[in-house]
Structure 1
Amino acid sequence: MGEFVAAAVALLALAGRAAAHSGSLGGSVASATVPTWLTVLTGGVVVGGSFLFTTLLTDHDAMRGVNWWRLVVPTPTRLRRAMGPLVRALSVSVLLIVLVTGFVGPQEGVRNFALLVVWVGWWAGYTATTYLVGNSWPALNPWRAPLSALRWIRERRRAGGDGDAARDGGAEGEADPLVAGVSVPVSWGVWPAVVGLLALVWLEVVSPVGENPRLLAGVVLTYTLVAVAGSLLVGTAWFDRVDPISRVFAAYGRLAPIQYGADGSLSLRIPGTAPTEDPLPDRPGEVAFVVALLWVTTYDGLVATPTWAAAVEPVVEAGVPALAVYAGALLVGFGLFLGVYRLAARRVRETADTYVTARAIERWFAPALLPIAAGYHLAHFLGYFLGLVPALAAVVTSPFAPPAAPLALVLPGWFGSAKLLFVLVGHVLAIWVAHSLAFELFPGVLAAIRSQYPSVVVMVFYTMTSLWIITQPYGPPPFV
């Protein structure tokens, strides 16, 4: 199942565009330096071979031995409570500097603290840590600070000044909202986060938010006001079901070797194995969010290709507003990806000859898409991050008086080919996750293997198509 899921929903997402976020910071994701035909052929062979190899792995106990291995590392409660406010204060300070430097700092991209920190340090660098190390965003999230502070004050009053009775504001277990009676309808599930993610990516594509510090600061300020107000109204349900940024980091964090327990303990896992244990929660929009995470990467890349420019130019010249064209493509593409995913789940149900519902199959195999998303992100942004790290370091040390010409690294030519390796590793890991999930869901060996048969041809086809896209030259999206 997982191979078809990964292919049918997201493999076109290989096209990446770091320059969408870099703007005037310079540098874009260059085309792969290996020949297109070799890239396409190699990707198809690797994915097809990986599928054939995993079908030979039928020892369920051995797979569980790999997937369920962990080393629990308890963390002192007092230390966690002491560090929580300090970490949150640091993140709030960075947010404030981003706002100030965005509005009044230097407007040159490579000298502006806000642009470098948001796109290079946070979206490129920090995001990678959520799937390579662990999701620390619940503790760092500056938009949680007002809710945490007010909840801490309320708990201290209730406890009569007993500090130990106050809960850690960074914990995911924070419960009721501070304003009683306000909640996100259960029937909405996490669809608000899906809508938010699509809207953010559309805004990033159609506006100069990646190169205009004042516009970026305005967007960050608006997001801050909405997030703080929302969290105060509905509590931490805001970050679980509405806030798209928190949802993105939580999704990526499922892949990380460091997993956080509800009791505050840490467990070390083999990277990428945590998603093999649990399906997504049974809430509306959970599967759609994972699909959206993959689709926005596809969309962000496709609008920067010559093929997109050739397709959109006659439509805009015919009188259709460019913003409407970009919005329409975003929604239609997402609907197509989600529809293909759901169709694949129904086909797998027939192939496996199971009584498990198609809806349950959708939720069960959706985590197999996450390694692909992480592979895309690393391929797209690692070179971008490494190239601008010197400029980021120079500006961070002096945000209000940055050097006149911060340095940037020029990466060797072979690094463009390394992107393909990151992508293929993500696909291979996705195959392992899907294979493991199939053996957990379907009884017996034959049913688990049969459930993956329909995916073979589609997996190879979409992989080869996606690798073709990643070799295409970058071009700025037209008409925006």
Structure 2
Amino acid sequence: MSRCSALARRTGIAGVVAVLTLAVTAGGVAASNVAIGLSGQSDGTPIPIWLSLVTGGGVIATSMLLTMLVTDRTVVERFHTNAVGFSNDRLETVGSLVFGTIGIATLVFVVVVGLVGPQIGSFSATVLLTFVGGRALLTIIAYTVGNPWRALNPWRHIAAFVPNGYATYPPWLGSWPAVGTLLVLIWLEVVTPLTSSPRTLVAVILAYSVFTIGGAIVFTPQTWFQKGDPISVWFRLYGAVAPIQRTEAGLEVRYPGARLGDDDLITDGSVLAFVLVLIWELTYSGFIVTGPGVRTVETLVGIGFPPQLVYLGLLLGGFALFWKGYWLAAARTRNRTETHLSRGSLAIRFGSPLLAIAAGYHFAHYAGFSLSLWPSLVDTMVSPLNPPENPTQYLLTSWFSYVELTGILVGHLLAVWLTHVVSFELFSGKRQAVRSQYPFIIVMVVLAVVNLYLVAVPPMDPVYVPN
């Protein structure tokens, strides 16, 4: 833990300088629950909130007990290792060329339409393509099918044609720039009119383009987009949940989530921090549009704090509590198992299953959002400079909230199983492996109850948010 803290302190100044130049991009990283995102949410579950919480927590706890009965290492290892691989270098080359062209064309389209097209968020193909197409739909594809971003990434393709590699990426920097950037992006999306002002969005897209291409030129595209670029790290980690995985030999098909059992996915504390941010940003964006969240913001602003500072404090303070709680779970696991493994090693190794939870939370927040607004996206894409006066939107029925709850529960159930898989890989004794899971399962149950509550309650308009 001390080493991770030292790394954070050493990179803090550089991270702040970098992230203040950014906001959102055509791939979309910030939460879109604010502004246009609210139109895609349901009105809460039609069943009592307490029943949703008790049922959800009970299902996860029961699945934990049932999972722990599976102690046959052959069964556990089969889930982790079974894969069907295939390779076609020519197909991969053609696919990279086609998708790369689409990515660059989309970036140009977003910039041009944002500058000369309509300047109302819900009528702008720039805004809808960024948030509905990138932030929601492309991310859903990443964790349900496979990560398409490596092939689509326009900045990577541009940087590949420019001389690069003028400096060596410092190993101690890790992915901390991506962590800091993502936190600032979430905050900026809340306190600035990025979803309602296409030209503001274009300005930060251009700033981001300069920033990320510059990073790729200095450190090489391969290194920068693997570690420093937040959008690439975002899609790489979400894509690890998917059944289709890219390997050095080509592609392979595995069980959904099986990649999360590999020990090379989360390699240090900075990548672990990014995973925790993925979960926390969805919890945070859900909290600030509920009654308790709105009242908290109003109370703090009433005391005299600026709204921008209140939203930043809630974002960073909540993440700090989550970070601390997770590391306490790792310390507890080390004490319970009396292992020679360090607390840091345990925290990093048990971090991968949390990506299944992040995917479940993302689906719960953005499945309805996507269904509601994708007709508007199509309408504005067909006629980007002169869209219909009333772009089509779908209204979600009350029962769709059950789909959202299911997304959360499925993500947690997969995470419970993957925690079981990791524990049997780390510990030779069955009892030791089972005991190692308890603290992390407690963290998962707490997360599930909190997020089931946020999905179950009716949403409200966030206060002090620019339109």
After TM superposition, is the score higher than 0.5?
yes
**Pairwise CA distance, 1:196:** 0.6
Quick one: which of 222, 233, 246 aligns to 1:260? Answer: 246
Summarize the alignment of residues 236-315 of structure 1 with structure 2, pairs less than 5 Å apart.
236=221, 237-263=223-249, 265-315=250-300
In the alignment, the residues of structure 2 paired with residue 229 and residue 460 of structure 1 have an alpha-carbon distance, to the nearest angstrom, of: 42
Q: Which residue of structure 2 lines up, in the alignment, with residue 154 of structure 1?
A: none
- Alpha-carbon distance change, 179 to 357 in structure 1, aligned in 2, over 3 angstroms: closer
Letter of the 1:444 counterpart: G
Contact 1:17 1:301 in 2 (8 A): no
Aligned to 2:62: 49
1: CA distance, partners of 2:265 / 2:94: 33
TM-score of the superposed pair, with normalisation by structure 1: 0.86
1:169 aligned residue: none
Q: Within 5 Å, which residues of 2 pair with 1:418-437?
A: 418-437=403-422
Cα root mean square deviation, aligned: 1.9
2-side partners of 1:107 and 1:452: how far apart? 51
Equivalent in the alignment of 1:19: 33
| Partners of 2:266 and 2:258 in 1: CA distance | 18
Summarize the Cα distance change of 1:270–1:102 in structure 2 as closer, same or farther, 3 Å threshold: same
Larger radius of gyration between Structure 1 and Structure 2: 1
Corresponding position of 1:404: 389
Match of 1:369 in 2: 354
2:72 equivalent to 1:59 = yes
Give a deviation string over 1:371-424, Cα, whole Å, max 9, x none. Answer: 000001111111111122222122222222322322222233211121101110
Instruction: Report the count of equivalent residues.
Output: 435
What secondary structure does 2:341 align onto? coil
Looking at structure 2, the residues matched to 186 and 28 of structure 1 have their Cα atoms a distance apart, in angstroms, of: 41
Identity of aligned residues (%): 38
Deviation at 1:281? 4.5
Cα drift, residue 117 of structure 1: 0.6
Q: What's the counterpart of residue 80 of structure 1?
A: 92
* Secondary structure of the corresponding residue to residue 451 of structure 1: helix
For the residues of structure 2 that align with 1:311 and 1:110, how far apart are their CA atoms? 28
Q: Secondary structure at the match of 1:452?
A: helix
Change over 3 Å in CA distance of 1:457–1:338 after alignment to 2: closer
For residues 457 and 92 of structure 1, the distance between their equivalents in structure 2, rounded to whole angstroms, comes to: 44
Alignment check: 8 A CA contact 1:188 1:284 kept:
no
The structure-2 alpha-carbon separation of the partners of 1:458 and 1:289, relative to structure 1 and needing over 3 Å to count, comes to closer
Name the CA distance, whole Å, in 1 between partners of 2:169 and 2:269: 12
1:229 aligns with: 214
Pick the aligned partner of 1:133 from 145, 150, 170: 145
What is the alpha-carbon distance in structure 2 between the residues aligned to residue 457 and residue 81 of structure 1?
Answer: 45
**Matched residue SS, 2:46:** coil
Shift of 1:284: 4.3
> In structure 2, how many angstroms separate the alpha carbons of the residues matched to 1:202 and 1:250?
22
Deviations 1:171-224 (A, max 9, x none): xxxxxxx152x2332111111110011011111111121222122112212111
Contact 1:109 1:212 in 2 (8 A): yes
Letter in 1 for 2:365: H
Structure 2 CA distance, aligned partners of 1:279 and 1:46? 30
Contact 2:266 2:349 in 1 (8 A): no
How far off its partner does 1:66 sit? 2.1
Separation in 2, partners of 1:37, 1:53: 24
Distance in 2 between the 1:406 and 1:329 partners? 35
Letter aligned with residue 239 of structure 2: G
The answer to whether 1:198 aligns with 2:212 is no
Query: Letter of the aligned partner of 1:406 in structure 2?
Result: P
What is the letter of the counterpart of residue 126 of structure 1?
L
CA distance in 2, matches of 1:28, 1:54: 33
Give secondary structure in 1 for the equivalent of 2:438.
coil
Task: Tell me which residue corresponds to 1:360.
Answer: 345
Choose the corresponding residue for 2:200, options 212, 215, 218: 215
Q: 1:335 to 1:456 in 2, by over 3 A?
A: closer
CA shift at 1:17, angstroms?
Answer: 7.4
Letter in 2 for 1:117: L
2:460 maps to which residue? Answer: 475
Alpha-carbon distance in structure 2 between the residues aligned to 1:476 and 1:39 = 23
Evaluate the alpha carbon distance shift between residue 109 and residue 456 of structure 1 in structure 2; reply closer, same or farther with a 3 A threshold. closer
Match for residue 103 of structure 2 among 67, 80, 91: 91
Deviations 1:322-372 (CA, angstroms, capped at 9, x unpaired): 111211222222111111111110100111121111111011110010000
Structure 2 portions without partners, runs of 5+: 1-29
Q: Do 1:279 and 1:365's aligned partners in 2 also have CA atoms closer than 8 Å?
A: no
Shift of 1:455: 4.8
What corresponds to 1:123 in structure 2? 135
Cross-structure match for 1:328? 313
Shift of 1:235: 1.2
2:52 paired residue number: 39
Paired with 1:195 and 1:109, the residues of 2 have a C-alpha distance of: 27
SS at match of 1:266: strand
Indicate the SS of the match to 2:352: helix
Instruction: Flag the structure with more relative contact order, 1 or 2, with Cα contacts below 8 A and sequence separation at least 6.
Output: 1
Q: 1:148 aligns with which of 160, 165, 168?
A: 160
Q: Tell me, which stretches of 5 or more residues in structure 1 are unaligned?
A: 1-15, 152-177
Q: Encode CA deviations 1:232-281: one digit per residue, 9 max, x unaligned.
A: 11112221221111111000111110000123x11011111111132545
Q: Is the 8 A contact 2:372 2:396 kept in 1?
A: yes
Report the secondary structure of 1:72's partner residue. strand
**AA aligned opposite 1:398:** S
Match of 2:326 among 319, 341, 344: 341
C-alpha spacing 1:324/1:270, structure 2 compared with 1 (3 Å): same
